[in-house]
């Protein structure tokens, strides 16, 4: 026990005994989180806690409280300035359920991967617990769950349009986005004894008010009642939000819920400078889980990032299914080489470091700065994308800084290899006139295969995805193959594919299956489109409209249709046979059931299941085949 107490020194307090040891009578903030406590900069609660600590505030952590018992929220006492609440590094519903709405079996952010330590809609539940015991203490919510549900949003799990999480939780403020700037300003305002209901001026926050402002400039979004009545109104509202996510050009947004209830979103906080990023990642993190989790085997999620480097945040890729635009923004912010090398050297001193840095990247690994010079001064263009439908003429496609960083990391003592495992944007690689990055990527930074994400092969679906045309991926694949041939290396390209995205009819799904056939590739895992809050794709799924154009989009909506589209990509799996056959019949592609080299399925009577009587006479076999054919015909008629 004493050894555990010694090892817990350096962590933020998690109990009264820690507070006594640190000489803290009352904490400034109590931070309630849905994840286990991991003091590592890849975990949002660690970053926010350390940033507040660096500004002189005391912060205690209540990790995964018993959500059935309100007393569990009282273990650190009443905070002096307020409660902070986050559901964790993932939305709690995504954490609990698959795209097919089935319960997941494991939670990598919980000791021993035990599922069920956090509730569904954790932010709301934790806030309700706090309000049961502390009626008037300021309550600030943040993290990915609160960020992406800050205004009215479609909720896939209840198949409904839900109100702002600010109203559903009863919180006073939302600190949205990455939060380092806004949380410090909130703390300073509370320290100055400004009532929490008067903290309405901080960028990167959402608050409530009873009346509309008279003199301020703002955009009034369609009201919640209008959104419930008309999906077209929601599509318009969503795109207004999307075009106002940038901190430079974004306007204040107001959403009405009644005559006396308005939710107001301030423009996003300004991106961090390189120096500010370095300070955030240079704070005294313990870089591991709290020792109270040792007995359970620790926290699995840490293993994914322990020997990885976050080189930047933000993404100008603009994929429709990604919520980064709403959370981190489109302006890429990066750390200096010095900061990253310092962290890498610390990694090499870890007892379990084996010589491999697992990743150097961020949302997109090969983005190491703003897309163009204009973004530095004016931010991202509200209604234009940097790479879609084709690279902007102002795009600065340059990998030289990233290459220099990778070379420095490779040269560190004790480092055997530096991998790049976060996403490589292949169209950005092609936009770079130099092939130096592709050469060094193949030579030094992958091991046998490179995973990239073309997502689909149909240009109709790719347009909905916000991805380049299929010919762009084909060109990258050609150059990748040629580069490996020149280097005399046997390395393969593994495409990530997505099924049942809006725009994908059964015809488009079959086209993707044919591509896998021609490639001789059947992926072990397929990402079925998952409608998560605050993405363009989710808006398409709910409304049947592309909010960028307001044109109708086909949506595979039923779970059965989604299962069929997914099964088509894995058509070789015997378990998928019935789904694949049904999908081909629905698509009018019976030509793909047969014996030809282009067929996806053999006729059913040649299945192993129908040949179990292979030792019987030929007459019995023929009789069995006829019965099978009649059964198939009867089922078709019934359909």
SS3 for 2?
helix
CATH topology of domain 307-447: Transcription Regulator spoIIAA (3.30.750)
Is the Cβ–Cβ distance between 112 and 297 less than 8 Å? Answer: yes
**Cβ neighbours of residue 127 closer than 8 Å, sequence gap 6 or more:** 85, 139, 141, 169, 170, 171
Which element (helix H / strand E) includes 376? helix 373-378
Q: Using alpha carbons only, give the angle 88, 92, 95 rounded to the nearest 5 degrees.
A: 100
Name the residue with tokens 């933020």. 12
Question: How far apart are alpha carbons 579 and 430 in whole angstroms?
Answer: 38
With helix as H, strand as E and coil as C, how does 388-454 read? CCCCCCCCCCCCHHHHHHHHHHHCCCCCCEECCCCCCCHHHHHHCCCCHHHHHHHHHCCCCEEEEEE
Question: How far apart are alpha carbons 369 and 350 in whole angstroms?
Answer: 30
At 67 the pLDDT is 97
pLDDT band at 9 (very low <50, low <70, confident <90, very high): confident
Residue 3 above 60 pLDDT?
no
Instruction: Decide which of 629 and 318 is more confident.
Output: 318
Is the Cβ–Cβ distance between 411 and 352 less than 8 Å? Answer: no
Q: Which of 524, 556, 594, 319 is nearest to 516 (CA)?
A: 524
Question: How far apart are alpha carbons 585 and 340 in whole angstroms?
Answer: 54
C-alpha distance from residue 422 to each of 301, 340, 432 (Å): 15, 16, 19
- Quick: pLDDT tens for 329-387: 999 999 999 999 999 999 999 999 999 999 999 999 999 999 999 998 889 999 899 99
The CATH code of domain 449-583 reads 3.30.750.200
CATH topology of domain 2-203: Rossmann fold (3.40.50)
C-alpha distance from residue 617 to each of 356, 559, 625 (Å): 61, 43, 13
Q: Using alpha carbons only, give the angle 608, 614, 615 rounded to the nearest 5 degrees.
A: 155
At 525 the pLDDT is 76
Is the Cβ–Cβ distance between 473 and 454 less than 8 Å? Answer: yes
Contacts 24+ apart (CB under 8 A), 559-563: 559/100, 559/101, 561/500, 561/506, 562/99, 562/100, 562/499, 562/500, 562/528, 562/529, 563/100
pLDDT band at 624 (very low <50, low <70, confident <90, very high): low
**Would you list the DSSP string of 260-273?**
TEEEEEPPPPPPPP
- Quick: pLDDT tens for 433-465: 999 999 999 999 998 999 999 999 999 999 999
C-alpha distance from residue 161 to each of 224, 366, 428 (Å): 9, 36, 36
Question: How far apart are alpha carbons 21 and 93 in whole angstroms?
Answer: 37
Residue 620 above 60 pLDDT?
no
- The predicted model gives 48-74 an average pLDDT of 97
SS3 for 494?
strand
Q: How many CB atoms sit inside 10 A of residue 199's CB? A: 20
At 182 the pLDDT is 98
Instruction: Decide which of 614 and 509 is more confident.
Output: 509
Question: How far apart are alpha carbons 559 and 100 in whole angstroms?
Answer: 7
- Quick: pLDDT tens for 99-144: 999 999 999 999 999 999 999 999 999 999 999 999 999 999 999 9
User: What torsion, rounded to 10 degrees, do the Cα atoms 446, 424, 328, 62 define?
Assistant: -30
For the whole prediction, is pTM greater than 0.75?
A: yes
**Cβ neighbours of residue 3 closer than 8 Å, sequence gap 6 or more:** none
Structure tokens at 352: 């379990």
pLDDT band at 618 (very low <50, low <70, confident <90, very high): very low
At 521 the pLDDT is 86
Is the Cβ–Cβ distance between 174 and 39 less than 8 Å? Answer: no
At 5 the pLDDT is 52
Is the Cβ–Cβ distance between 428 and 387 less than 8 Å? Answer: yes
């Amino acid at each position: 026990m004493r050894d555990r107490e010694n090892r817990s020194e350096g962590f933020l307090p998690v109990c009264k005994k820690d507070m006594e040891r640190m000489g803290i009578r009352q904490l400034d903030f109590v931070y309630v989180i849905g994840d286990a406590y991991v003091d590592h900069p890849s975990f949002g609660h660690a970053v926010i806690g350390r940033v507040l600590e660096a500004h002189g505030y005391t912060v205690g952590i209540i990790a995964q409280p018993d959500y059935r018992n309100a007393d569990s929220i009282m273990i650190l006492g009443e905070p002096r300035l307020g409660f902070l609440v986050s559901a964790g590094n993932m939305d709690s519903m995504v954490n609990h359920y698959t795209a097919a709405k089935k319960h997941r079996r494991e939670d990598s952010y919980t000791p021993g991967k035990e599922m069920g330590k956090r509730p569904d809609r954790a932010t709301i539940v934790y806030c309700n617990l706090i309000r049961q015991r502390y009626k008037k203490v300021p309550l600030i919510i943040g993290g990915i769950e609160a960020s992406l549900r800050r205004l009215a949003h479609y909720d896939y799990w209840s198949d409904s349009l839900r109100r702002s999480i600010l109203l559903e939780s009863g919180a006073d403020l939302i600190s949205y986005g990455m939060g380092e700037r806004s949380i410090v300003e909130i703390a300073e305002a509370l320290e100055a004894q400004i009532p929490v209901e008067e903290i309405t001026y901080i960028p990167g926050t959402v608050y409530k008010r009873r009346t509309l402002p008279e003199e301020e400039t703002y955009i009034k979004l369609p009201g919640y009642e209008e959104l419930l009545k008309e999906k077209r109104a929601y599509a318009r509202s969503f795109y207004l939000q999307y075009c106002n996510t940038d901190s430079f050009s974004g306007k204040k947004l107001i959403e009405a819920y009644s005559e006396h209830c308005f939710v107001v979103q301030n423009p996003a906080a300004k991106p961090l400078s390189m120096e500010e990023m370095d300070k955030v990642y240079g704070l005294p993190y313990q870089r591991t889980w709290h020792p109270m989790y040792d007995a359970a085997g620790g926290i699995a999620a840490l293993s994914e990032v322990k020997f990885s480097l976050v080189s930047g945040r933000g993404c100008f890729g603009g994929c429709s299914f990604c919520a980064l635009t709403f959370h981190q923004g489109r302006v890429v912010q990066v750390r200096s080489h010095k900061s990253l090398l310092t962290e890498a050297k610390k990694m090499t001193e870890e007892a379990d470091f084996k010589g491999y840095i697992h990743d150097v990247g961020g949302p997109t690994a090969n983005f190491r700065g703003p897309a163009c010079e204009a973004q530095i001064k004016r931010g991202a263009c509200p209604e234009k994308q940097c790479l879609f439908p084709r690279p902007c003429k102002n795009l600065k496609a340059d990998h030289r800084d990233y290459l220099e960083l990778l070379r420095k990391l490779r040269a560190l003592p004790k480092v055997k290899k530096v991998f790049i495992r976060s996403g490589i944007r292949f169209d950005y690689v092609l936009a770079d006139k130099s092939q130096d990055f592709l050469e060094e990527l193949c030579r030094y930074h992958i091991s046998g295969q490179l995973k990239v994400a073309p997502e689909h092969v149909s240009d109709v679906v790719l347009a909905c995805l916000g991805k380049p045309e299929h010919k762009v991926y084909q060109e990258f694949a050609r150059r990748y193959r040629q580069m490996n041939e020149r280097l005399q290396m046997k390395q393969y390209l593994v495409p990530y594919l997505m099924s049942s995205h809006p725009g994908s009819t059964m015809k488009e799904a079959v086209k993707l299956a044919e591509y896998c056939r021609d490639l001789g590739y059947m992926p072990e895992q397929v990402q079925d489109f998952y409608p998560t809050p605050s993405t363009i794709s989710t808006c398409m799924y709910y409304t049947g409209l592309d909010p960028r154009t307001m044109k109708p989009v086909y949506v595979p909506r039923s779970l059965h249709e989604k299962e069929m589209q997914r099964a088509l990509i894995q058509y070789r799996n015997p378990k998928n046979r019935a789904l694949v056959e049904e999908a081909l019949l629905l698509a009018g592609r019976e030509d793909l059931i047969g014996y030809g080299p282009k067929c996806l399925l053999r006729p059913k009577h040649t299945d192993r299941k129908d040949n179990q009587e292979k030792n019987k006479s030929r007459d019995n076999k023929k009789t069995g085949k006829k019965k099978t054919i009649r059964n198939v015909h009867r089922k078709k008629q019934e359909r």
